[in-house]
Amino acid sequence: MAETKQFKTEVKQLLNLMIHSLYSNRDIFLRELIANAADAIDKARFESLTHPEMAREWQIRIEPDKEKKTLRISDNGIGMTAEEVVENIGTIAKSGTRAFLQMLEEKGAGKENLPELIGQFGVGFYSAFMVAEKVELRTKKADSDAPAVSWTSRGEGEYELDSEIEKSEPGTEITLYLKPDAEIYLESWKISDIVSRYSDFIAYPIVMPERKVNSDKTETVTDRTLNSQKAIWLRKPDEITPEEYKSFYSHLANFGGTEYLKAIHLTAEGMSEFKALLFIPKQAPFNLLMPDIQKKGLQLYVKRVFITDECKELIPDYLRFICGVVDSSDLPLNVSREILQENPQLHRINKAVTSKVLSELKKLLESDPETYAAFFREFGRILKEGIHTDRENQEKLKDLVMYESMNTEPGKMITLANYVDAMPESQKEIYYISGDKREAVASSPALEYYRSKGYDVLFMTDPVDDWIMQSMLQYRKKHFKSVAKGDFEADEADKSAAEETVKKATEKFARLVDFLKKTLADKVSDVRFSVRLTDSPCCLITENNGLSPHLERLFKAMNQEIPASKRILELNPNHPLVEALFECCNKDETAPELTAYVKVLFDQALLMEGSPIPDPAEFARQITRLLLTGIKK
């Protein structure tokens, strides 16, 4: 006989909260009920190890009925007695799973023998009320003489319990009487879609009957399995075929490709238990540099149940090109399983995943430099971000970055280790120059002294390089120095001669320097002599703490307000053009052509370093006048 009972909590308000606020996506209800069914089968399967008569072909069934507007989810798992129904279903947030695990531990079952169960809060069942106006549960306890029992509720504060029903087989079936606005969940395509998304890797077959009308108008009903059950990350690598890897990678990558560079398996035990399967892609997806439309993070599963495909906490942003799956055995989630709790385990998983990926990249660099170089061309600008953001792994990342250099042929890159190993004994620092592209930096006058000494200079042409160099500081106790920034210091062997040359030039050409400072007062912060140059008459140098012109252009392209900066004009004391300008200045400092010469000189310095000139038309006119003057002479 049915008995009406009140829930054991202030359930009306709590149910209302869960139904309308706890879950942001109504599809979640089916994931929760399937997960509960898998838990029930896990419990029965565990018991069958010592009671073989309980073993059967485990299965979860989903049966939509469009005529009755009902959706039934059933399993042949452990089932419940009337007391357990009252305890676990009649009490909100009373976790039967938690109690079951506690009971097993009290019996002394080893942790390695415990079934993998995901229920932690006992509220997933109530997500059914998001789509159902009435829920009916029928259950029978396995390996027990207890009678079957039914539980019925509309989620409004009370429920009916009937402990005298007929049910021959053990297990649980839940029937949802759907709300009018939830009838889409009767459609087979919708059910298939939800199962494929959230429960594809549940260990037991999830089946749904399919009806087919034959040519003789008879009807045939067959079961179709909706989930693949192929959680390949839980298998040993030597048990997985290349085709399975490719298929799974294609599923994860979500941009049609099946080619990946490397598959990485990771198993962690101890304080945080999880398994991961990660892929290093071969080619960058089209949206790699489009943060607004790019998913970041790995797919997260808990005991094969899909939680999210964008768990940013599992991997640092500079490894966002890595795709893969993390399946945790003990990661705590909030009651809706949609938002991860702040928990140290997230950090431990992140740390383990990051360490493994960087280790595999280092192995690839050492074993196959050409393949690694191809990878770095695709993802290097992203990987380098970690030097600035991940202090813990900064040194590992420095080993992985690559650059073109002054002494390499175009397109060939070297590592920092390659650069340092090739440094002459007299070279004390790692030299670099930044710019938009190789062609621009390779022609910079700032390279001339270093070229004459046989030193190499790294070409940093990625948009992020200038930003990253603020954190690079040193490598193998060698400091980095920009050849286009700050004061120039010659080698010890050349130092005294260089200082003497600069001193004499400063005294001799003092009048010309004053004129240049006055004429270019709105463009440069200083004019000085330097032996940095060997062939060119001049170059522009940035103050030590100033933004490089390359970085300024990037900020402006992003509509950032950057105050106009002035740079230093350095002159070559041995260049004949400096001598000619000096003679012209001594002859007549007010001559119009002298001012024109100086402006052309400044624009030429901009062009030589690859920077745009402020007024190309005026520059062209000045060049034309100078050409005419020279031809007429």
- SS3 for 130-157, per residue? HCEEEEEEEEECCCCCCCEEEEEECCCC
Q: How many CB atoms lie within 10 A of CB 231?
A: 19
CATH number at residue 37: 3.30.565.10
Asked if the structure places residue 377 within a domain, the reply is: no
Tokens describing residue 396? 């590992």
In this structure, the number of other CB atoms found within 10 A of the CB of residue 582 comes to 18
Nearest to 512 by CA among 570, 576, 586: 586
- For residue 474, give the 3-state DSSP assignment: strand
Rounded CA separation 480/404 (Å): 16
Pairing of strands 60-65, 219-225: unpaired
Closest CA to 65 of 225, 175, 219: 175
Please indicate, yes or no, whether residues 460 and 502 belong to a single structural domain of this protein.
Answer: no
DSSP single-letter state for residue 475:
E
Same domain? 242 vs 131: no
Structure tokens at 261: 């560079």
List pLDDT tens digits, range 191-238: 999 999 889 999 899 999 998 888 787 888 899 999 988 899 999 999
Burial class (CB in 10 A: 0-12, 13-18, 19+), 590: exposed
CATH number at residue 460: 3.40.50.11260
Q: Report DSSP letters for 168-199, one per residue.
A: -SSEEEEEEEE-GGGGGGGSHHHHHHHHHHHS
Which DSSP symbol is given to 373? H
38 is in which domain, residue-wise?
Answer: 2-218
And the tokens for 36? 């509960």
Number of alpha helices (DSSP H) and beta strands (DSSP E) in the chain? 20, 23
Element (H, E) at 311: strand 305-311
Write down which residue in 437, 454, 482 finishes a domain: 482
Beta carbons within 8 Å of 328's beta carbon, 6+ residues apart: 272, 273, 274, 300, 301, 302, 303, 345, 349
Low-confidence residues in the chain, pLDDT < 50? 121, 335
In a domain, 310, yes or no: yes
- CA–CA dist 146, 80 (Å, integer): 9
Nearest to 447 by CA among 456, 437, 438, 460: 456
Domain boundary among 183, 218, 253: 218
Tell me how far the alpha carbon of residue 364 is from its chain's centroid.
Answer: 20
Quick one: 455 and 517 in the same domain?
A: no
Q: Helices 592-609 and 510-519: crossing angle, nearest 10°?
A: 80
The answer to whether residue 184 sits within a structural domain is: yes
The amino acid at 2: A
Judge if 192 and 313 occupy the same domain.
no
Asked whether residue 488 is assigned to any structural domain, the reply reads no
The verdict on 339 and 411 lying in the same domain is: no
Asked whether residue 383 is assigned to any structural domain, the reply reads no
User: Do 568 and 487 meet the contact criterion of CB atoms below 8 Å apart?
Assistant: no
**Pairing relation of β-strands 323-328 and 148-153?**
unpaired
Q: Are residues 137 and 193 in the same domain?
A: yes
Residue 28 has what pLDDT? 87
The answer to the question of residue 381 being in a domain is no
* CA neighbours closer than 13 Å in the CB half-sphere of residue 146: 21
The CA-CA-CA angle for residues 373, 377, 381, to 5°, reads 120
Which pLDDT belongs to residue 335? 46
Residue where a domain stops, chosen among 328, 348, 370: 370
For residues 176 and 135, is the Cβ–Cβ distance under 8 A? yes
* Structural element, H or E, at residue 243: helix 242-253
Q: Which residues pair with 569 in a beta bridge?
A: 527, 540
Structure tokens at 501: 């040359």
**DSSP 8-state symbol, 542:** B
Looking at residue 203, its amino acid is A
| Residue 6, phi then psi, degrees to nearest 5 | -90, 150
Q: Are 150 and 111 in contact (CB under 8 A)?
A: no
Say yes or no: 179 and 306 in one domain.
no
How many independent structural domains does the chain possess?
4
- Residue pair 528/568 in contact (Cβ under 8 Å)? The answer is yes
> Same structural domain for residues 156 and 292?
no
Residue 366 and residue 417 share a domain: no
> Which CATH number does the domain housing residue 283 bear?
3.30.230.80
Q: Does residue 64 lie within any of the structural domains?
A: yes
Whole-model pTM: value is 0.79
| The pair of three-digit structure tokens given for residue 532, joined into one six-digit string | 């940095």
Q: What is the dihedral of CA 196, 201, 204, 208, to 10 degrees?
A: 0
Question: Alpha-carbon distance 514 to 247, whole Å?
Answer: 71
- Based on the domain organization, do 55 and 29 belong to the same domain? yes
Do both 41 and 190 map to the same domain?
yes
Amino acid symbol at 116: E
Report if residue 40 sits inside a domain.
yes
What is the per-residue burial (b if ≥16 Cβ within 10 Å, else e) of 168-197? Answer: eebbbbbbbbbeeebeebbebeebbebbee
Residue 108 and residue 165 share a domain? yes
Query: How confident is the model at residue 112, as a pLDDT?
Result: 52
Residue 509's domain is classified under what CATH number?
1.20.120.790
State pLDDT tens for residues 405-459. 999 999 999 999 999 999 998 899 999 999 888 988 998 999 999 999 999 999 9
